[in-house]
Structure 1
Amino acid sequence: MTLPPLPRLLCGALLSTTVFAAGVQAEDRPQAIQQLEERGVEVMESFQAPGGMTGYVGQMQGRSLAFYLTPDGNHVIVGTLMDKDGNNLSQASIDELVTGPKFENAWSEIEDSHWVREGNRDADTVIYTFTDPNCPYCNRFHQQARPWIEAGKVQLRHIMVGILAEDSLTKAATILGSEDPEKAMHEHQTSFEQGGIEVDRKHVSAAHLEVKANNSLMQELGLQATPSTLYRGEDGKITMVQGLPNPQALERMMGPRP
């Protein structure tokens, strides 16, 4: 029989081993989990889940996911598990077992990427954000962060990428390759509604490979939107916020509003 594509299973469908053709079995995993592995899921960790289930976390095509083996060992549920209070238990497991370690391992690459500083060099809080010069949400994030930046509390490091539009890469390289990247970034953000910075071929030549390297890093990290923002919290753990942060996330990231 024809099997449905895995993305449709992410809605939480209940899978039974009886509906799959037999595959090559691994001694250390139940057959239901093997079927997911054969479909391209990389199983990373297992954990004790509610209801007598065994939870697993893994990745497929750069996307993190959680799935749960039922107590009988014959079925696996793929999707989001929530408790009676509405807490997303799946995301908590993914953050602890997949996302956190992945960004921790890549933190030195993030620090060594090609970024433009905005704010006080000695600020207590350093935040990295993947910024496309044609991204309206990146521009809004820049505006949101101004109170903290102007108060000297936050240093925002824009990892310049070019992914959204045809001239995104050349604009990003113009900013990154300019004599004063921070000034160029400010000029671009303040003139964003009018089209932003004018492309300078000399600057593009100087920095286009650096922008491409940032694009590759973003892809390797499985980030699919800008802004994608990473910071180390007070507990020492790395947190990622994808998209425009809401007010609560903004304060968790930057501290109380000045």
Structure 2
Amino acid sequence: MKPSKKLYSTLALMVGMSLSVVSNAHADNAQNEISAQQPQMPQVLIEAQEKGYFTIIDSTPVEEYPDLRAVLTRTANGQFNLYWVNEKQNYVNVGALIQGDGINIANKYTEKLKPSIGEAFKEIHNGGLILGNDVTTNDDGVMYVFVEPHCGYCKRLERNLEPYIEKGLNVRYIPLSWMSPNTPDIIATIAKSDDKVEAMSQALRSQLKITTSSDQQIMAGLNKNSSIMRAVGLTGTPGVVYKNESGKYTLTGGLDGKNLENLANYLMKQGKMAKVATK
């Protein structure tokens, strides 16, 4: 039976839920357009790409489950979705894949397959505005957070980050402004603060007293940050950027729970190693 338009829409839009579809055949010509090096993809994914629902970015075998292949796609607005292809039983799942220990390995494979944002993100050090207490070009072990002070999800991420910041996690904020006319003044006040991380925390808790007005330099930095946000494919806040084990910049959204704990612990370990190496 030919896949319906409704099925393609579901494949393109469902995130974090489980969906199974049967794939009957493979499209050789369409597959060659994706990559001569990639294994064949199920017909349903090939046709969904041809109809413009998403673009297939890359795929890789799943170490934890030999019969599975992870396939990363990106929609026109920059949203990444991960599909699980069972190559033996010939079916496709989409969304989370949670192991017995509670770890969602979808995050691992999404980050592994995302294209590098390195060149675009490095521009943050060329006129971008970074708010932190230890801002240098060395960003080993650093968590960068794209943030809008009035963003509800940013407020939640800040609350979740507090215990890790207290333990030594190096967080650098990349501020953005679009939700309120007073955001530039909030950013200017944080930029003048001695403890910028604490000032950002106060701002996200709506407790910061605005004492400074924005100026041309602040606005130029905010404009640069907005350009970088678009260049790396971020469509909303918060956005988290960090270097993975391969030294590649990776981008993810707001994290919580075990995923945030694992990333924070990894970055704190990397930060300590970087400090030892420079002594």
Partner of 1:167: 181
Query: How far apart are the structure 2 equivalents of 1:187 and 1:51?
Result: 48
Pick from 2, 15, 34 the counterpart of residue 46 of structure 2: 34
List per-residue Cα deviations over 1:145-182 (Å, max 9, x = no partner).
Answer: 65456xxxx6543211124x323642355247x6x465
Check if 1:66 corresponds to 2:82. yes
> Which letter maps to 2:30?
A
Secondary structure of the residue aligned to 2:83 is strand
* Unpaired stretches in structure 1, ≥5 consecutive residues: none
C-alpha contact 1:45 1:97 (8 A) present in aligned 2: yes
C-alpha contact 2:144 2:242 (8 A) present in aligned 1: yes
C-alpha contact 1:56 1:66 (8 A) present in aligned 2: yes
C-alpha contact 2:135 2:172 (8 A) present in aligned 1: no
> Which letter maps to 1:196?
L
Check if 1:128 corresponds to 2:144. yes
Q: For the structure 1 residues 239 and 75, does the alpha-carbon distance in structure 2 shift closer, same or farther, using more than 3 Å as the test? A: closer
Query: How far apart are the structure 1 equivalents of 2:85 and 2:199?
Result: 53
Secondary structure of the residue aligned to 1:77 is strand
List per-residue Cα deviations over 1:104-128 (Å, max 9, x = no partner).
Answer: 3444134443212314869985442
> Which letter maps to 2:104?
N
Query: How far apart are the structure 2 equivalents of 1:175 and 1:24?
Result: 58
Q: Percent same amino acid among aligned pairs?
A: 17
* Unpaired stretches in structure 2, ≥5 consecutive residues: 33-39, 273-279
Q: For the structure 1 residues 166 and 199, does the alpha-carbon distance in structure 2 shift closer, same or farther, using more than 3 Å as the test? A: farther
Q: For the structure 1 residues 234 and 95, does the alpha-carbon distance in structure 2 shift closer, same or farther, using more than 3 Å as the test? A: closer
Q: For the structure 1 residues 225 and 14, does the alpha-carbon distance in structure 2 shift closer, same or farther, using more than 3 Å as the test? A: same
Structural RMSD (CA):
4.3
Pick from 67, 92, 99 the counterpart of residue 108 of structure 2: 92
TM-score by length of 2: 0.63
List per-residue Cα deviations over 1:84-140 (Å, max 9, x = no partner).
Answer: 665534332222121xx4243444134443212314869985442223233534654
Aligned length: 243
